[in-house]
Amino acid sequence: MSRRAWAYVAGGAGQGRTMRHNREAFERWRIVPRMLHGVRHRELGTEVLGTALSAPLLLAPVGAAGLVRPDSDLLIARGASAAGTAYVFSNQGCQPMEDTAAAMNGTPFWYQLYWSTDEPLVDSLIQRAEAAGAAALVVTVDTTLLGWRPQDLDLGSLPFARGEGIAQYTSDPRFTILATERAHRTSAEENGITVGAISTLLAMSRRHPGRLLDNLRSALPRAAVQTFLDIYSNPSLSWEHLASLKERTVLPVLVKGILHPDDARRAIDVGIDGIVVSNHGGRQVDNAIAALDALVTVREAVGPDPVVLFDSGIRTGADLFVALALGADACLLGRPHLYGLALAGADGVRQVIENMVAELDLIMGLTGVAAIAGIGRDHVQAAPVGAHH
Ligand code: GLV
């Protein structure tokens, strides 16, 4: 990866403490193998909100993956599809959702929604996701502002400001109206020309739909980036916004980024169908609680029935097993699939998934669990106090 790509993908908020806490939390839970159980065949398939999953694992939405490889979202979709794994498309994706949907080749996918300050844009994105065949919406609520990310800041890098990760917007009819209006308003403005400005303009024009030469002559690519930066997210997002989704979509809705049990209960109360416990892979608030610790309190708060997914810190099949034992119905995998993408494109994505699922399968065999629903609290134990990790 380039330095910019690595900073964005591998980087986290502040001093990286939340990322570390996410991993350390897994060290505090240990799997209890069982013997002579006679379990020979394991079934890893499961269902979440009407979506059939071949294993309790989905690819998480990751924005600006085009930093890692051109055609990123299409390659991720092909890798996911080859592994029979569902993929949550990023709202900050690098290809229009319709193209990524085609690359899924029939394997289920969900769509992530960032709530724009422009409500017609919210509706347009939802309608496109429904029309493209998404089986659920995942509203990310922990990124109404982008966190403090020193790795990116040190390089002066914000992918979106160069037009990386705004393909869902530049392919959107409502967004195009807004960006075009802005281009008309600003094309007469004088702009100071510097080498940096030219390089940014070139980057934006390359990524904007259409021919590079036309884009360079047009005020639209720059206006699109500026419009995106203005409206992509709504810092005053509230429970009322969320509650309005019931009338705005036929799809099941999950809310991603929940860490407090009261927020989890509230989400269920306003009619949300599922919760994704996540601290955004430690990218938002430094020194936040580990997502795995939040999973325990959230599951306790909502009881056994509501759908609770887990994200932030999964790196192995053993981690998957622990999260399922602590109450997750399925898990989302973020950075690791980007590393597979970097190393070997679609095939790298497929291999990352298959290695992880293979380990989960073996651990089920070695703990005597025949089906995903059978993985429970009895299969894990808190590490003794003071034990070395
Ligand atoms: C955006 O969601 C990010 O984590 O960079």
Query: 215-266 pLDDT, tens per residue?
Result: 998 999 999 999 999 999 999 999 999 999 999 999 999 999 999 999 999 9
Q: What is the token pair recorded at 86? A: 């569902």
Is the same domain home to 222 and 255?
no
Kindly state whether residues 227 and 373 are assigned to the same domain: no
Our answer on whether the CB atom of 174 is closer than 6 Å to any ligand 1 atom is no
Residue 373 belongs to what domain range? 3-160+234-382
284 shares its domain with 324: yes
Ligand 1 atom with the shortest distance to the CA of 284:
4
For residue 389, is it within any domain?
A: no
Let me know whether 117 and 263 are in one domain.
yes
Specify whether 275 is located in the same domain as 219: no
Q: Based on the domain organization, do 37 and 180 belong to the same domain?
A: no
In this structure, are 88 and 215 located in the same domain?
Answer: no
- Statement to judge: residues 227 and 238 lie in one domain: no
Torsion of CA 33, 34, 37, 41, to 10 degrees: -10
Q: Tell me, yes or no, whether 345 lies in a domain.
A: yes
Note the pLDDT of residue 385: 87
Q: How far is the CA of 283 from the centre of ligand 1 (A)?
A: 7
Tally of domains within the chain? 2
Establish how many alpha carbons lie within 13 A of residue 229's alpha carbon, considering only the half-sphere containing its beta carbon: 14
pTM of the model: 0.97
- For 110-143, give the secondary structure using H, E and C: EEEECCCCCHHHHHHHHHHHHHHCCCCEEEECCC
Based on the fold, state whether residues 335 and 226 are members of the same structural domain: no
pLDDT tens readout for residues 41-79? 999 999 999 999 999 999 999 999 999 999 999 999 999
Residue nearest to atom 2 of ligand 1 (CA): 63
**What pLDDT digit, counting tens, does each position of 7-42 carry?**
999 999 999 999 999 999 999 999 999 999 999 999
- Where is the domain boundary, 207, 231, 255? 231
Measured by CA distance, the residue closest to atom 5 of ligand 1 is 63
Q: What is the pLDDT of residues 265-281, one digit of tens each?
A: 999 999 999 999 999 99
Same domain for 144 and 82?
yes
Q: Compute, in angstroms, the gap from residue 354 CA to the centroid of ligand 1.
A: 25
Instruction: Tell which of 183, 206, 231 closes a domain.
Output: 231
Q: Ligand 1: distance of its center to the CA of 369 in Å?
A: 36
Nearest ligand 1 atom to alpha carbon 281: 4
Q: Is residue 94 part of a domain?
A: yes
Query: Is the pLDDT at 182 greater than 90, yes or no?
Result: yes
Say how many Å lie between the CA of residue 284 and the centre of ligand 1.
8
Whether 63 lines ligand 1, by a CB cut-off of 6 Å, is yes
Residue 114's CB is within 10 A of a number of other CB atoms, namely 22
For 125-171, the pLDDT digits (tens) are: 999 999 999 999 999 999 999 999 999 999 999 999 999 999 999 99
Domain-embedded: residue 272: yes
Q: What confidence score (pLDDT) does residue 388 get?
A: 66
Q: In whole angstroms, how far apart are CA 93 and each of 31, 176, 281? A: 36, 16, 17
| Domain annotation covers residue 387 | no
| 245 and 182 fall within a common domain | no
Instruction: Answer with the one of 231, 247, 282 that is the final residue of a domain.
Output: 231
